[in-house]
Structure 1
Amino acid sequence: MFNVLGNFLTLSSFGESHGEAYGGIITNFPAGLEIDIEKVQLELDRRKPGQSAIVTQRKEGDKVRFLSGIFDGKSTGTPIGFIVENENQRSKDYDHIAQAYRPSHADYTYDQKYGIRDYRGGGKSSARETLNWVVAGALAKQLLPEIEINAYVSSVGEIFCEKPYQDLDFSKTENNIVRCPDEKTAERMIERIKEIKKEGNTIGGTVTCIIKNVPVGLGEPIFNKLHAELGKAMLNINACKGFEYGSGFCGAKMTGKEHNDLFNQDGTTQSNLSGGIQGGISNGMDIYFRAAFKPVATILRPQESINKDGESVTVEGKGRHDPCVVPRAVPIVESLAAFVLADMYLINKTRKL
């Protein structure tokens, strides 16, 4: 199983949803950096379940414990090992799918690939895996403190935040449970998610991420283009179905004259349809992208499916599940973006004396 994130700065992760714990090992993290463990925990608290009425009610403390690589509050340059224990599994909620496959879930593909699957909470396919990524991303943010990364929920179903990101106050993102900095749009999103939850159904949405103060030169010209690394990271998030940066798919409707970002004399550009990346390399302008998330596959209503023997069965979700994943995806998107940027930053440093 490929379970390593990054190229030079790497995270190797382990754990299952209903196992003893999650954890990971981060390698090539520079020595001598002061580590604020409280900031790492704060990022985990943003991701953890049970935060509000519109997310899963699984109760987990998600307390990180560092095992190595940090001494006297500073990174030592050796691998950073950490662990987060599971506390509130309730595995019996999944007994009914021990032999049955949930539609659009990873049940069938895992069973076919490995010949065995941990059906409790989805095992390795559970989104609880992302807490490892948040720990790594929180450390990466401290490695690049000058870079500002702000993600927010930009749509839920057919409800969109229509304001351009330049008009949004990102300090308001955490002021509501859906994590949309536009208060009126947030209220509509919350009501829609509550309606969907009452129906035993789920709904999708998008997360937009804005990255400011990125130095020029991050990213590689061929197979490790910065936008490709960001896209790869985002598309590894559970339920992520799409990624676009800069003008994205709208750029396909434009002419070159309309799309080209003309230069100012200082090297900045008059527009930024390139999304802060040209030729796979950061150009110093804001990087912005959007990730699309499908509705959560597990719904609390009957669906026709099959079991391991190919027989027709009816499955119905039980237990605690997110009616909409996007509010909790916000810190995950930020964390992965930070880790990618830190990885590219360290690679870039190896080329300069």
Structure 2
Amino acid sequence: MGSSFGKLFKISTFGESHGKGIGAVLEGCPAGLEINEDFIQAELDRRKPGQSKITTQRQEGDKVELLSGIFEGKATGTPIGMVIYNEDQRSKDYSHIAEKFRPSHADYTYQVKYGVRDYRGGGRSSARETAARVASGSIAKMFLKTLGIECYAYVSQVGSLKLEKSYQELDLGKIDDNIVRCPDGPTAEKMIDLIDEVRKSRDTIGGIVTGVIKGVPPGLGEPVFEKLHAELGKAMLSINAVKGFEFGSGFEGITMRGSEHNDVFYKDGDTVKTKSNHSGGIQGGISNGEDIFFRVAFKPVATIMTDQESVDVHGDTTTVTGKGRHDPCVVPRAVPIVEAMSALVIADYYLINKTVRLT
């Protein structure tokens, strides 16, 4: 099972939604990096369940325990082990689907692949696994901050309700000012009302998280198969419920002529810059020094609180009834996950870039 990500700055995660706990082993963190445990916990608090009326009401403290790789507040250069114990499992909520395949879940595909599955909350396929990524990504954020690199993400769309402003027009310091994590107050209120309306109707809704990475130096990324945007795409598409990824102008770029879309270079002092940024900060798979920005599409949560037709492990037609505690929309809690995966990619590629030249 693919449970590892990265090459030099590498994480391996473990655990299930209703098991004893979840965690990660982080390798490649440079020795001497100051580790702020309060910051790790603060990032986990942004992702944890039960934080508002528009998220699942599962009550998990998500308290991280650091097991290794840190001494006197600094990374030692050895593997950093982290564990988060599960506290509020209600496994009985899932007994009714022990032999049933929930529509659009991983139940059927896991059963076919492994011949056995943990049906309690989806087991390993549960989004609860992403807490381990956020813990690891918070350390990547600390590392990147020493380099002047910052990773941001915010909710830019819920259903058909779009935030019309670009990230350049927003104050990214206001992302956490509201429960939907949209840095535009009036739009945020509309998004919250929409999600609450969907929740009350016992349904779910999808959305888009926009990611922005500032301060990335030019030169990060590998040619051909390991382009920077390809790795960012892999990182985002590995997050539960993600159905799409685009960077820069994305699909909208096809509506432009080359004369409009090309990012013209100019010299600003000793720095080469571009007059526009349709490339999204990446050209030829390598960062060019401009802001990297992208969008990640999340589908509606698959568990809905109404009956759905399905089949069971015996191949018989059956009915699946939604139970348990689930998000009506995942995007507010997905924001720190997108930031974490962004940070892991950039940290890894920064270290890789240190190996390609003698000087």
Same fold per TM (> 0.5)?
A: yes
Name segments (4+ residues, structure 1) moved above 4 Å: none
Task: Give the alignment of 1:1-353 within 5 angstroms.
Answer: 1-145=1-145, 146-266=148-268, 267-352=272-357, 353=359
Distance 1:289 1:317 in 2: 33
Distance 2:60 2:131 in 1: 11
What is the CA deviation profile of residues 40-98 of structure 1, one whole-angstrom value per residue up to 9, with x for unaligned ones? 11000000000000000000010111111000000001111111100000100001100
SS at match of 1:268: strand
Q: Which runs of 5+ in 2 are unaligned?
A: none
Distance 1:154 1:40 in 2: 25
1:202 Cα deviation after fit: 0.3
1:255 Cα deviation after fit: 1.7
Distance 1:34 1:179 in 2: 28
Distance 1:79 1:150 in 2: 26
Distance 2:66 2:226 in 1: 30
Distance 2:32 2:151 in 1: 23
Distance 1:120 1:187 in 2: 34
Report the AA paired with residue 113 of structure 1: K
SS at match of 1:162: coil
Distance 1:284 1:144 in 2: 15
1:351 Cα deviation after fit: 2.5
Distance 1:135 1:224 in 2: 25
What is the CA deviation profile of residues 136-189 of structure 1, one whole-angstrom value per residue up to 9, with x for unaligned ones? 100001111011211100000010000111111112211111000111111111
Q: Which runs of 5+ in 1 are unaligned?
A: none
What is the CA deviation profile of residues 252-301 of structure 1, one whole-angstrom value per residue up to 9, with x for unaligned ones? 22221111000112310000000000011100001000000000000000
SS at match of 1:285: coil
Report the AA paired with residue 64 of structure 1: V
Deviates more, 1:275-284 or 1:253-262: 253-262
Distance 2:204 2:223 in 1: 40
Report the AA paired with residue 190 of structure 1: I
Distance 1:218 1:34 in 2: 24
Distance 2:234 2:223 in 1: 16
**RMSD between superposed Cα atoms in Å:** 0.8
Alignment TM-score, normalising by the size of structure 1 = 0.99
